[in-house]
Amino acid sequence: MNKEQKTESIVFLERDTFKVAFRRPRFDHEWSEFGQTAVEDLVSRLRDATILICNKSPIKAETLARLSSLRLIAVAATGVDNVDLEFCKSHGIAVCNARGYAVNSLPEHALMLMLALRRSLIAYRGDVKAGRWHQSKTFCLLDHPLSDLRGSTIGIIGYGTLGQSMAQLARAIGMEVLVAERKGEAVVREGRTGFEEVLKNSDVISLHCPLTPETQNMIGREELRLMKPDAVLINTARGGLLDDTALLDALNEGRIGGAGIDVLRVEPPKSPSPLLDADLPNLIVTPHNAWASRQAMQTLADQLIESIEAFVEGQPRNLVV
């Protein structure tokens, strides 16, 4: 920041999302933070902001048009679908995100979901709580399928940092990895497998791609029909990648083996919520916390402040716009 520039005004909209410390940037600034911020409060809280830190708050054109001082939006996440990037691009507002912070946390969470589904963990836990083990005539219960992950095939859709980390973890436990080509592509790149072929041949499908107009409802009724009847689907990416109704139909009709979901279309969910209301032992829903190990969260916090400092110093990084 040169001498002519005024003190930066930093506003953090959703501090309560993060259970770790954020150090203050090493330049002159004013820091304001709010636990959460309702849409109707965005403009009043950001009116004088030069730097905005947000996580999931919707930062749309109608809000941005009223923020004449804003220079940088620092998104405390990898996904930036909550920000109107076209407006930012055309009005000279930089947008940066956080990258790679969940490289261990999220794949480990996805692996947990895979293991729980392949070992029928929820169903067996329900049996034990219902007293069925007490009533068993043998020393164990074997009423639900039990399958190993070693020797099975995982299809990874989305091969950025998180997809690559998922592949590494899967190979470490002896899974065969198929990396899907983009849906609808006629030419399959080296090292990739056709999208439909991945769906047909995988025992586990794991989604790791961003939500874009091209990936909206990427997995729907037809895609689920291509999957093996005992295959499981894992979504730790974005809720909009998946047609919820089609998934529930596939589970209820026994057309796939199970699903592990960490993300929904609307978060926090509203009632009724089809996936949350379903009482199925082969459907596990976790509350969008695959990314949020203590270690991952601290990495995100540190990286975000470093990116803000780099921007102010005239050496921006992790820019989306």
Cβ-Cβ contacts under 8 Å for 252 (sequence gap 6 or more): 280
117 in helix, strand or coil? helix
Q: Taking the CA atoms of the chain, what radius of gyration do you get in angstroms? A: 22
Tokens of 58: 């919707």
Active site residues: 238, 267, 288
Contact of 308 with 51, CB cutoff 8 Å: yes
Residue 76: name the closest of 296, 286, 269, 314 by CA: 296
Distances (CA, A) of 301 to 215, 233, 253: 28, 30, 43
Helix (H, G, I), strand (E, B) or coil at 87: helix
